[in-house]
Structure 1
Amino acid sequence: MLTLAFAAVTALLATATLMPVLRSGAWWIRGFDFPRLQLLLLSALVLALQLVFHPIDDPWTTAIVIVNAACMLWQAWWIVPYTRIARVEVADAPADARTRIRLLASNVLMTNRDATPLLEQVRAHRPDVLIAVETDAWWEARLDTLSDLLPHAVRCPLDNLYGMHVYSRLPLHDAQIRYLVEDDIPSVHATLELDDGRRVALRALHPRPPSPTESDGSEERDAELVLAGRAAQASDLPVIVAGDLNDVAWSRTTRLFRKLSGLLDPRIGRGMYNTFHARLPGLRWPLDHLFHSRHFTLVGMQRLEHVGSDHFPILVELALSPGCNDPDAGLDADAADQAQAREALEDATFSADATARG
């Protein structure tokens, strides 16, 4: 009886482990990209219980142990880079690096009507740039009170959970609100002028997630990441891409974005920095991201305290110090990746307005 129980649980874990391998955008398949750590821990628990309570003395029990171990190893392959076991991808900033930029990104949760915790964090940490998503007109009125610290702004208040605001201490040039794929999902594109006059391309994103309440599939999200990745690769300026991407750092689609863009992830070798879900400690994963070109090194990165949202804010400080990162850092796109990117764009449904603007 115990053998059947362990076999049934192991079969479920193996199915959940293999689901992301399927090249489908269906939300109920793509959702298995997220809980890799949780699935690894469940496989480890089942394996430990079997070793303690059930002898490994026949082919069935041996097979169950092997399958569970294989599940653990497969999940670990994806998430170990986001632990301190791995080598860091982004070098620590040199002590004498003077040109720095500090960014704070927060999904505020549109229905959250207490702006005070976030406003206090902004005033405490004094970022050069604040990226806020899920912002409507109510949130805009509260965030505008930060104009003494962050006088430059791009505002796109929406009541559909996809509003976006960017506030900056630094001058913003060529600022645009663009709808890359869907005509109700904005992104902000601007050029930041740093204190020493050098300029940086900033891209703020918040694509729609695959979920039963948002979108049946991930096609539109995946296409937006492809477009953003290609734009970053084509930029002549140092690039920062940040926001709630509604995708985990280790997913196939985020890895494709990193390959297409050539951008680096400062979390690699340092930690997951899980930002969602703020109210469910056992079910958290990294949805809020900041990627950057190899022009930057890392001064510091931290997940901030809860601000009443279902996301934690994240604070990242970078130094503009070209030549300090390993020239081989990051991921490279091959022919198969380029084909996958073309397929992602073909599978997405572009709105008429978005096609014209994107």
Structure 2
Amino acid sequence: MIVDAPPAPADTPTRPRWARIGTALCWLTVAPTAAWAAVRLAGLDRGPLVQALAFTPYVAGWSVVALALTLALRRWWPAAVAALAAVALVGLVAPRALAAPQPAAAGPTVRLLTANLLAGAADARTLVELVRRHRVDVLTVQEFTPDAQAALDRLGLDRLLPHRQLNAQVGTPGSGLYSRWPITDAGIRQNRGGWGFSQAYGTLTVPGGPSVRVESAHPAAPYALDQVGAWRADLIAQPPATPDGGLRILAGDFNSTLDHSPLRALLRTGYVDAADATGEGLTGTWGPYDGDLIPPVTIDHVLVDHRIAVRTVRVLTLPATDHRPVLATLTLPTP
């Protein structure tokens, strides 16, 4: 009796096809994160990449998912590339969630608050209450208007912070610096790009401590491709730190994250990002707060001289603006 051999399993011919699909899926998942890591490491923030790089922390999180997928499917070459991309991106981003050692400063405490008022629309009563509740010593504001100035004074800001250097303007160019202590050598810096944002500045006389120059920073926003050049020029023009001279603080809306090379270059002159120094560097300050479907990103910063100790940073809530105020508690060095 002749017995025919059993037929081959019906799914045998399809196995290579599914293998190819799995490999292609892995590469499609890994390639964007690898390219992103290369762009970020090389500092290639040009053109549309400027806006994209603001979301690098989200891509860092996705890079871990991509690595897990390649390992689960046992695609070793994509896994190797995914591992390199994940190590690079997570290594760049994760330290922002870790507090760093601070200098042994033993001078007076300065509580500084910075807020973008969205063309003066931010709720003035809440802002004054924040100043009062947190005993703020210095306030920097951007997109500061004459109406906002009048509203803040009606609510008592002139009594809480009587010293000021203000440049209130209709729309978004205005800027202001308020202080509990006297301000000298005050002025207005005019940025050239974008909407022509201005920057109020002055030197504060802090009782029992060294004088410190504070500026309300607001370089141009890279909201369109034709504004990227102005954005870069305004950031390059920001006053550098003076590590061998007087203390400086830049506080405001930088329209940049720590993944943008011009901001990192500014930090290298001798500044420290206060949020990064206290492990709050991934807390968003701009994005969905006025209803837009935008993931939060960190573009509002307090940059301090490296000799100043950063004790705490808090991101607060201010209604009717697309930004969140940043409150930094600082200790100055002794004179």
TM tier, shorter chain? 0.7 to 0.9
- Structure 1 unaligned segments of length 5 or more: list them: 324-358
Match of residue 174 from structure 2:
163
Deviations 1:4-41 (A, max 9, x none): 22322322333333334566553411223211210011
TM-score (norm. length: structure 2):
0.82
Task: Indicate which of 203, 206, 210 corresponds to 1:194.
Answer: 206
User: Which position in structure 2 is the counterpart of 1:35?
Assistant: 55
Q: Tell me how far apart the structure 2 counterparts of residues 197 and 83 of structure 1 sit (CA, whole Å).
A: 30
Superposed CA RMSD: 2.7
Paired with 2:294 and 2:233, the residues of 1 have a C-alpha distance of 30
- Could you list the per-position Cα deviations for residues 147-175 of structure 1 after superposition, in whole angstroms to 9, with x for gaps in the alignment? 01011122222334232111111111111
Matched, 1:224 2:244: no
Find 1:104's aligned residue among 113, 117, 120: 113
2:146 maps to which of 124, 137, 141:
137
- Following superposition, the deviation at residue 234 of structure 1 comes to 7.6
Rounded to whole Å, the distance in 2 between the matches of 1:243 and 1:114 is 18
Partner residue, 1:121: 130
Kindly provide the amino acid, as one letter, of the partner of residue 33 in structure 2. Answer: L
Is 1:209 the counterpart of 2:184? The answer is: no
Count of matched residue positions in the alignment of Structure 1 and Structure 2: 308
Aligned position for 1:307 = 319
| Superposition pairs of residues 46-85 of structure 1, within 5 angstroms | 46-52=66-72, 54=73, 56=74, 61-84=75-98
Q: Which amino acid aligns with 1:219?
A: G
For the 8 Å contact 1:101–1:319, the answer to whether it is kept is yes
1:240 equivalent in structure 2: 249
Give 5+ residue unaligned stretches, structure 2: 1-20
Contact (CA 8 Å) 1:16, 1:32: kept in 2 or not?
no
Residues 57 and 93 in structure 2, CA contact (< 8 A), matched pair in contact too: yes
Q: Identity over aligned residues, as a percent?
A: 25
- Separation of aligned partners in 2, 1:148 and 1:68: 57
User: Are 1:37 and 1:79, in contact at CA under 8 Å, matched by a contact in 2?
Assistant: yes
| Structure 2 residue aligned with 1:150 | 161
- TM-score, length of structure 1 as denominator length: 0.77
Q: Which amino acid aligns with 2:256?
A: D
Measure, in 2, the Cα distance between the counterparts of 1:234 and 1:181: 27
Deviation at 1:282, TM superposition (A): 7.9
Residue in 2 aligned with 1:178? Answer: 189
Q: Mark the structure with the bigger radius of gyration.
A: 2
8 Å contact kept, 1:229–1:258: no
Paired with 1:190 and 1:111, the residues of 2 have a C-alpha distance of 22
Q: 1:173–1:190: 8 Å Cα contact kept in structure 2?
A: yes
Amino acid at match of 2:81: V
Give the drift of 1:196.
2.8
**Equivalent-residue separation in structure 2 for 1:2 and 1:168 (angstroms):** 61
| Distance (Å, rounded) in 1 between the aligned partners of 2:262 and 2:101 | 19
Aligned amino acid, residue 127 of structure 2: L
| Aligned partner letter, 1:65 | A
